[in-house]
Amino acid sequence: MTSPSRPAIGLVIVGDEILSGKRADKHLPRLIELLTERGLELGWAEYVGDKPERITDTLRRAFASGDIVFSCGGIGATPDDHTRQCAARALGVELELHPGAERLIRERMQDVAREQGVPYEPDRPDNIHRLNMGVFPKGATLIPNPYNKIPGFTVGTVHFVPGFPVMAWPMMQDVLDTSYAHLFRRGAYIERSVIVFGSMEATLTPLMEQVEREHPHVKVFSLPSVDHPTYGRHIDLGVKGEPAHVDLAYRTLLEGLGLLKVRLGPELVRP
């Protein structure tokens, strides 16, 4: 659960291609997987197109939130890439060529020249333009990119990575493992629930509120389904949090369901 010592984790996906349906977002399910493996959970996600004003507003809220935020997409150097500029605008700082990013980008250009069997020409216009990929808000630090060396960047607790999954996913994993390992709760976060038949969420709501009131360290969830292939129409009702708190809260939940005389199905436990 989120607490003053455990900030929420958010995700921003930038790109018209996602909103238009030309490409399907794969970052959301992958980040959820990365977090779940570490006993963490995603608190929120937001999609935004390539309009600079909207990106700036979204990033301004992300910086102000104090949350751990991953922003995917728009950090390239083509005309439709605005994230770097919008991040600087949201922070009220200037953009500058990061010396470490410049070194890595030049290394990448030399690698490509060698692969192609042509001389490296650092002053060629297209190579000069590529350095724009290392122009970040002043004060930014780098996120290593193991795929092609072109780095992402971090300001505060907001982390900017490319839109390409092959680059973004290992970069997000690296940020989690190097900067937030102290937040991990591997094996110390579970969900316990029971399948409830023949009831409505409105009927169960007072019990859910009671459980959260009596057990403030857990979160109650209710997942209704009308056409489940195994259980048909039902509600998956449960609690999630640290095991010791979950066990007590779940006992309260089952006692309350007993008083409501509803028909129960299988009990489920998820890590």
Say yes or no: 159 and 238 in one domain.
no
pLDDT of residue 1: 45
Q: Which residues of the chain are modeled with pLDDT < 70?
A: 1-5, 186-188
Indicate the DSSP class of residue 55: H
Q: Give a yes or no: residue 3 inside a domain.
A: no
Last residue in a domain, options 168, 183, 198: 183
d(C-alpha 213, C-alpha 169), whole Å: 38
- The pLDDT of residue 187 is 63
**Torsion-angle region of 189 (φ positive above 0: left; ψ -120 to 50: alpha; else: beta):** beta
- The pLDDT tens digits for 141-178 are 999 999 999 999 999 999 999 999 999 999 999 999 99
Number of folded domains that form the chain: 2
Q: Same domain, yes or no, for 44 and 123?
A: yes
In a domain, 217, yes or no: yes
User: 150 with 253, same domain?
Assistant: no
Pair (81, 21) in one structural domain: yes
pTM of the full predicted structure?
A: 0.81
- Point out the domain boundary residue: 129, 159, 183: 183
**What Cα–Cα distance (Å) separates residue 232 from each residue in 93, 162, 204, 211, 237?**
55, 41, 18, 26, 15
Q: Read off the amino acid at residue 107.
A: E
Q: Where in the sequence is the domain holding 27, given as residue range(s)? A: 9-183
Same domain, yes or no: 211 and 121 = no
